[in-house]
Structure 1
Amino acid sequence: MNIPLRNHPGILVVSVIIIALLTWGFWPKPISVETVQVKQASLTVTIEEDGRTRVIDRYVIASPVNGMTCRMHLKVGDSVTQGQNLLGITPLEAPVLDSRSRAQAEAQVSAARSALKSAKAQANSTAAAAHLASDKLKRYQPLIEKGLISQETYDQAKAASVTAAANHRSANFSVEVANYELQAALTTLEYSAANPHDSNQERVAVNSPINGKILNVNRKCEGPVSTGESLLEVGDPSALEIIVDVLSADAVKIKPGMKVLFDRWGGDKPLEGIVRLIEPVGFTKTSALGVEEQRVWIVSDFTSPTEQWQRLGDGYRVEAKFILWQEDDVLQIPSSALFRYQDGWAVFAIENNQAKRKIVQIGQRNGLTVQILSGLVENEKIINHPSDALEDGVNIEERLNK
């Protein structure tokens, strides 16, 4: 038997409540979103890298000769003037002779003395021959005038006299050579480290080429040095440049004359500079993650007044910001509000508490902010960090920022 529902109002009420609860449970809820406003402000596109200062004119003082340097009394930071004597280099001392070397040196002295005696005897012999030939020529002189001897006999006597005189001079030169060889042999024995010589030794002075300061000291103690060995470095810290290594892909965007800002150098405000040189040769550098990168050195000069950066020295760290593009009134939004759509870019705007997809055209971007060329207007609200749940026409509710 069918019983009308109007006779049981409780069942009707419960049914209505259940239907309402099911409808409320399955009804799509608004998605909570974070919103930002499109604004008009200045925008700067930069490349940021760490750099360091470097003295422009850096002079490496090297040893001009082989010798022994004195103890270095100059220290890093000491001021020097042009022409100031920095250090001196003396010749190396002769080595100590062992028993064999000393015996050989004494034998060479004996041989040199014998050679000197032989040369002197030869000189005496040639002197006698030259005297005899000269006397013979003098006796032939009156005879040739009276015609008592032939001209040929006289010419032969004259030639013999000239030859004997030349032999005598040659013998005298041989005596001098033998004497020098004896002195050289004696020097080997006399000038030895075991028998120091008391005479003043010649000393080569090394002077400063500029007015500046000592930047580095490579040799502090007395010791032997060879020609070309670096001793110290001198430079003028008041003439600084900044070198920064950037990725080669970023280096092609930087041009000479571009403005640079130097921050985190220790001062109260950033310093200004200008790019002077982009080196044409790159180099390979391994990053902190172990990735090999091709990088390029960028050389810049300070344009800020000298008194603002005079506390900087050689090798100080700075953070360089190369300004690629800058404009004051730019319509912009956060880069996090953009997403890819149909080979372009789009954002979700808010209209009547619903998400409205809008295609936009972008311009310059600096990583955090992007320039909007078309598609949005100033003060328009858009959704930041859109999730995959958002679609065109979906109900939304603005999340309150705490």
Structure 2
Amino acid sequence: MTDQRAVGKWIFWLAFAGLVAAALFWAIRPEPVWVDLAEVERGRFEVSITEEGKTRVKDRYLVSSPVAGYLHRVNFDIGDPVKPGQLLTEVDPMPAGILDARSRAEAEARVGAARSALNSARQKVAAAEAEARFTADELNRLESLNRQQFVSEERLQQAVAAKNRAQAFLNSARFDEEVMAHELAAARTRLEVSAAHSDGGEALERVGVRSPVQGAVLGIIRTSEGVIQAGEPILEVGDPEALEVVVDVLSFDAVNLAQGGNVRLSGWGGQTLQAVVSRVEPVGFEDVSALGVKERRVQVVADIISPAENWEALGDGYRVDATFVLWSEDDVVQVPASAVFQNDEGTYVFRVSEGRAQQVQVSEGESNGLYTAINDGLAAGDRVIRHPDRNLEDGDRVRAR
């Protein structure tokens, strides 16, 4: 009986010691590390750049006044259709300046002088005509005598020369008469055609301003009538169905874009559209961001290739979000970029298995900032730790939040 009690005591103390040891073990062992987990996925992966852009009409025409004058009111609204050669408005050429008393007296004197010069030229013409008739008659008379051998050949040649000289003087006098007639007309125009003699009627000559292309009115710069200078813009026309998208891209990203690259257009109020890069401008410019940071940007132009009926509501100057696709694959293993970290030996992630963190070396591929493609080391369905703590080590117990 005593032996049985002794054995029972030993069993009791051994059990008690085991319980105490277990309690101490549970008390002093490290607590699991709370972590955020993400599942490894397999699917489409792409690297892209998204920037805000705007639409614009490809070919714009700024219609300006061909002459200085008085512009008539433009009776068009923005969006109105126009055809090639269609009359847009008219311009009355500017009238001559008003002549003051002194200028008018000078103009009248020029008219009188021009009239007198014309009369003098006419008298010279009359005298030259008389001389020409006389020399012609004299030549005819001498030619008849020469046939009867009553006049020498030398005398006949002198008569021919005299007739030619007289005809030349007549032609010169007639030219002088024409010059004087034009000068008189110019002097009369200077005197008579002036703003002082304007009767307020319609201009004799009115210049029409016409549309150069088929399209619509995109902008009206001068609506009301009034004085306008030659070359001053009136309105802008173009074809609103021929749209392109202009995007200001950071120069750091623009070097990765090339002609023919894929572009997605969204954020304009309709379905996503497809486009291609048509031109990357070779010259950059400086821009200031919303945070006040100076940036170097490059203008990139894209052509819309989606059917026109899908973007009928788009117009000139509309906002769009342009996504430039740099790289894409349909079947790629990918993890959040925050799960990947580097050390001296390579690239790693922490994979969670049976409640413990396992440091796994991986081969990474492309990254779009949010996700990273994994070429080797993980499989779809694995769970990895996002934003792993620096103190986390291989084999540590973890618990998902």
1:306 aligned partner: 308
- Percent identical residues: 44
Aligned-partner SS, 1:253? coil
Matched, 1:287 2:283: no
1:172 aligned partner: 174
Matched, 1:212 2:215: yes
1:235 aligned partner: 238
Instruction: Tell me which moved more, 198-207 or 48-57.
Output: 198-207
Q: Is the 8 A contact 2:52 2:319 kept in 1?
A: yes
1:257 aligned partner: 260
**d(CA) in 2 for partners of 1:189, 1:58:** 44
1:146 CA drift (Å): 2.3
**d(CA) in 2 for partners of 1:271, 1:394:** 49
**d(CA) in 1 for partners of 2:328, 2:222:** 50
Structure 1 residues 199 and 227, CA gap change in structure 2 (3 angstroms): closer
TM-score with structure 2 length normalisation? 0.85
2:382 aligned partner: 380
Aligned-partner SS, 2:392? coil
Q: Is the 8 A contact 1:278 1:296 kept in 2?
A: no
**d(CA) in 1 for partners of 2:170, 2:101:** 41
1:191 CA drift (Å): 0.5
1:66 CA drift (Å): 4.3
**d(CA) in 1 for partners of 2:152, 2:324:** 105
2:204 aligned partner: 201
**d(CA) in 2 for partners of 1:380, 1:53:** 44
Task: Give runs of aligned pairs for residues 278-357 of structure 1, distance below 5 A.
Answer: 278-288=279-289, 289-342=291-344, 344-357=346-359
1:186 CA drift (Å): 1.0
Instruction: Tell me which moved more, 179-188 or 133-142.
Output: 133-142
Any idea what the Cα deviations from partners look like across 1:167-198, whole Å, max 9, x if unmatched?
A: 12321221222122111101111100111266
Any idea what the Cα deviations from partners look like across 1:340-361, whole Å, max 9, x if unmatched?
A: 2116321222345333322221
1:117 CA drift (Å): 2.5
**d(CA) in 2 for partners of 1:22, 1:194:** 118
Aligned-partner SS, 1:279? strand
Q: Is the 8 A contact 2:258 2:280 kept in 1?
A: no
1:79 CA drift (Å): 1.4
Structure 1 residues 141 and 377, CA gap change in structure 2 (3 angstroms): closer
2:247 aligned partner: 244
**d(CA) in 1 for partners of 2:163, 2:29:** 142
1:280 CA drift (Å): 4.6
Instruction: Tell me which moved more, 316-325 or 209-218.
Output: 209-218
Q: Is the 8 A contact 1:91 1:201 kept in 2?
A: no
**d(CA) in 1 for partners of 2:141, 2:40:** 130
**d(CA) in 2 for partners of 1:196, 1:343:** 95
- Taking only aligned residues, the RMSD between alpha carbons, in angstroms, comes to 2.7
Instruction: Tell me which moved more, 388-397 or 371-380.
Output: 388-397
Aligned-partner SS, 2:396? coil
**Structure 1 portions without partners, runs of 5+:** 1-19
Instruction: Tell me which moved more, 187-196 or 61-70.
Output: 61-70
Task: Give runs of aligned pairs for residues 3-402 of structure 1, distance below 5 A.
Answer: 28-196=30-198, 201-267=204-270, 269-275=271-277, 277-288=278-289, 289-342=291-344, 344-399=346-401
**d(CA) in 2 for partners of 1:59, 1:330:** 49
* AA matched with 1:285: E
Q: Is the 8 A contact 1:248 1:282 kept in 2?
A: no
1:4 aligned partner: none
Q: Is the 8 A contact 2:61 2:237 kept in 1?
A: yes
* AA matched with 1:246: V
TM-score with structure 1 length normalisation? 0.85
Q: Is the 8 A contact 1:274 1:301 kept in 2?
A: yes
Q: Is the 8 A contact 2:69 2:91 kept in 1?
A: yes
1:292 CA drift (Å): 4.2
**Structure 2 portions without partners, runs of 5+:** 1-21
Any idea what the Cα deviations from partners look like across 1:250-303, whole Å, max 9, x if unmatched?
A: 233233333321111012x3222233x123512212231444444333322223
**d(CA) in 1 for partners of 2:121, 2:210:** 48
Q: Is the 8 A contact 2:257 2:280 kept in 1?
A: no
Q: Is the 8 A contact 2:281 2:300 kept in 1?
A: no
Instruction: Tell me which moved more, 23-32 or 380-389.
Output: 23-32
Instruction: Tell me which moved more, 363-372 or 113-122.
Output: 113-122
1:310 CA drift (Å): 0.1
**d(CA) in 2 for partners of 1:142, 1:239:** 86
Instruction: Tell me which moved more, 110-119 or 286-295.
Output: 286-295
1:332 CA drift (Å): 1.4
Instruction: State the aligned residue count.
Output: 379
Structure 1 residues 133 and 337, CA gap change in structure 2 (3 angstroms): same
1:65 CA drift (Å): 4.1
Q: Is the 8 A contact 2:96 2:194 kept in 1?
A: yes
Q: Is the 8 A contact 1:282 1:294 kept in 2?
A: no
Instruction: Tell me which moved more, 316-325 or 334-343.
Output: 334-343
